[in-house]
Each structure stands twice: as structure tokens, then as C-alpha cells.
Structure 1
């Protein structure tokens, strides 16, 4: 069972705290979010799983109170990461505020040392962790989706955890929209397209959606999809060097 703590006691001494956000539903996700903590061992062991439990505050933030509490002179900051998992959703790493990279497997942070008389040298701010629909996301009936795979343009190898996006503006009022998903381990994606694309007069009349896939900065691919004529096609987005 998840333990709940007041924000005043749980977040005050937590070196990092995270707010899971369901991007498709556009709301904070409070239930069924699993967080796993790892510590980086600089002596060669790499990332080591920790048994430090996460707590959830009443505001739905996930925190690690008192992580970093160490007494004695010479204590150094420790490097940690948190990995999130939710059935049907895929976490977008890193948390808000940094460039996307498919190779990232968690949100990293430093735990500054402190004790009862010396506070942490650096404070912490809430970080939004966006949860995007995965290939197994249970879209409700009637939601329009397109599917396909992201591959390397040269090797044809599938690109896992690539960020696939489509964006545009509504025809009637010009409001900007954005749909995003992440590929699975086999490079497959399924992307919702709930809004209007760019209209093209037929025959037949179609709407064009501009899809972009990103592996990391400088490694992207683009593809135009025409609906409804290409709705059932398996679309292939090729990642290329700039």
C-alpha cells in the first residue's frame, strides 16, 4: 500500500520529487504508478537497485524523504535515478526541461548530503514526468490512430523508445495541438490523431499529418500521413543523420 505524507514533511528534505502526468488524459496520474530507485556506483558496478521506498504526497508527487541524510565531514553528493512504469503508458525521459534521448532509462538527480544541523546545499523543485500512450494503450472506441515502425535509415534496425510526434492547429479556431507516443522495444508505434490535419481538396479529400520521430538530438525522421486513405497502412519512419 502506498504511504501518504504531508507535503511539509515529505518534500522538505527530499532531494527530488516527481509528478507523474498522463499526457493523453491531460491530468496528474495518482494511481498505479510504480517507481524504482537506483544509485550509481562510481567504482564500476554501475546502477545498483535500491530498496528505499518512495512515498506519495497528497498532491500526488513521488518523493524520497531523507535520501541523502549522511553525517560526518567529507560527505559527497550521490547520483540516483528513478524509473517509472504504468500499464499501457510509457514514461518520457528525461523529466521536463531537457532534450529527449531514447537511450535514457530514468530520471537522474543528485542527493546532496545533509544532517540535523546542516541543510542540503541545493534545494529541489517538482519535476513533471510525462506518461505517453504506448502500443498497448487502451484507446476508447472511436479514437483515430495510425501505426507503424521507426527504423534506422541505413541499417534498417528498429529504433526502440523513439519519440513519435504529430502537431498542428485546429481548422476552426487555430488552437495548437500535439499528439505523442513512444515506440516499443521492437520500434513499433501507435499514435492517436484526434485533431484535424491540413486539408487537401480531393478527389478524394484528405487531411495531411506531419509525423516526426526522434531518437536523440540530431537523429530524427519525418513522414507525411494522409487520412483517411492511409489509415490502415503500416507506416515506416526512417531515422537519418543531419
Structure 2
């Protein structure tokens, strides 16, 4: 069971705070989110799992208090990353504020050494970690979805952990909307389209949705989906170098 600590006493010197956010429900995910902490070993150039437990604050932040507390002279900063998991959801790395890259395996941060007389050289702020619906996400009744696969245009190999998006504005009030998901290890995706697309007068009348897929900056693909006529089609988005 996750331990709870007050923010003002226990995470004063946590080198990182993370706030899991369920993007589909548009709310902070306060339960059923698991984390694994890894430390980077520069000698072996590998990430090594750690047994350091995370704590959850009353404000739903996940933190690692006292990580970096070292009294020995000449202690150096250490690199860490946190991997997130939740049933039906896929974590979007990195945390808010940096470009997406499908090759990232967690949210990285640096733990600066400190002791009772010397605080860490660099402070930290809470970082939002978005959890997107995965292929197995339990969409409720009546939620319109489309499915397919993201592949490399040259090799036809599936692209795992690619970010698939659709965006638009509502016709009634002009409010922008965004739907996102991540592909699984086989490159498969299932994307909700709860809002309206670009209307096209028929016959038959359809709505057009523009889907984009991103592997990393400079590696993207795009596809137009027409609904309802193509709702049951397996859509293929090809990733190309831009």
C-alpha cells in the first residue's frame, strides 16, 4: 500500500514530484498508479532498478523524499528515471514541457546531493505525467473509436509507443478538442473520437478527421479518416522522415 506523507514535512527535499493525470477523464489520477525507480549507471551505461519506495502526498503527487541525501565529501549528482503504469492507460514520456520521443522509457530527473546543513543545489517543482488511453482502455458505451496500426513507411515494421492524435474545434462554440493515444508493442492503436470532425456534404454525408502519428521530432505520419463510412476499417499510418 502506498504510504501518505504531508507535503510540508516529507517532500521538502524530494528531487522530483510527479502528478499522474488521466487525460481521457481530465483529472488527476489519485490511485492505482504504479511506479518503478531506476538509477543510471554511467559505467555500464544502463538503467538499474532501485528498491527506493515512492510516497504519495495528500495532493496526489508522487515523490521520493530524501533521495540524494549523502554526507560523503565530493558526492556527485545522480540521474534517475521513473516508469509509470496503470491498467488500461499508457504513460506519455517525457513529462509536460519537452518534445515527445517514443524511445524514452521514463521521466528522467537529477538528484543533487544534500545534507542537514546544505540543501540541494537545484530545487524541484511538480511535473504532470499524462496517462493516455491504451489499446485495452475500457471506453464506455457509445464512445466512438477508430483503430489501426502505425508502421515505418520504408520497412513496414510496427512502431511501438507512437503518439497518435486527432484535433479540431466544435462547430457550435469553436472550442478546441484533442484526442490522444499511444500504440502498443505491436504498433496497434485505438483512438476515441468523441467530438465532431470536418463535415463534408454527401452523398453520403461524412465527417473527416485528420490523424497524426509521431515517433519522435522529425519522424511523423498522417492519415484522414472519414466517418461513419470508415469506422470499421483498419487504418494504417506510415511514419516517414520529415
Shift of 1:45: 5.4
Distance 1:120 1:62 in 2: 19
**TM-score (norm. length: structure 1):** 0.99
Distance 1:149 1:3 in 2: 39
Map residues 54-73 of structure 1 onto 2, 5 A cutoff: 54-73=54-73
TM-superposition CA deviations, 1:181-240 (whole Å, max 9, x none): 000000000000000000000000000000000000000000000000000000000000
Match of 1:32 in 2: 32
Unpaired runs of 5+ in structure 2? none
**TM-score (norm. length: structure 2):** 0.99
Distance 1:118 1:203 in 2: 72
Match of 1:217 in 2: 217
Distance 1:10 1:126 in 2: 14
Match of 2:108 in 1: 108
Match of 1:12 in 2: 12
Match of 2:76 in 1: 76
**What is the total number of aligned residue pairs between the two structures?**
242
TM-superposition CA deviations, 1:106-139 (whole Å, max 9, x none): 0000000000000000000000000000000000
- Name whichever of 4-13 and 218-227 sits farther off: 4-13
TM-superposition CA deviations, 1:57-79 (whole Å, max 9, x none): 00000000000000022110000
Give the secondary-structure state (helix, strand or coil) at the position aligned to 1:240.
strand
Residue 158 of structure 2 is aligned to residue 153 of structure 1: no
Shift of 1:9: 1.6
Give the secondary-structure state (helix, strand or coil) at the position aligned to 2:4.
coil
Q: CA RMSD in A?
A: 0.6
Match of 2:237 in 1: 237
Give the secondary-structure state (helix, strand or coil) at the position aligned to 1:18.
strand
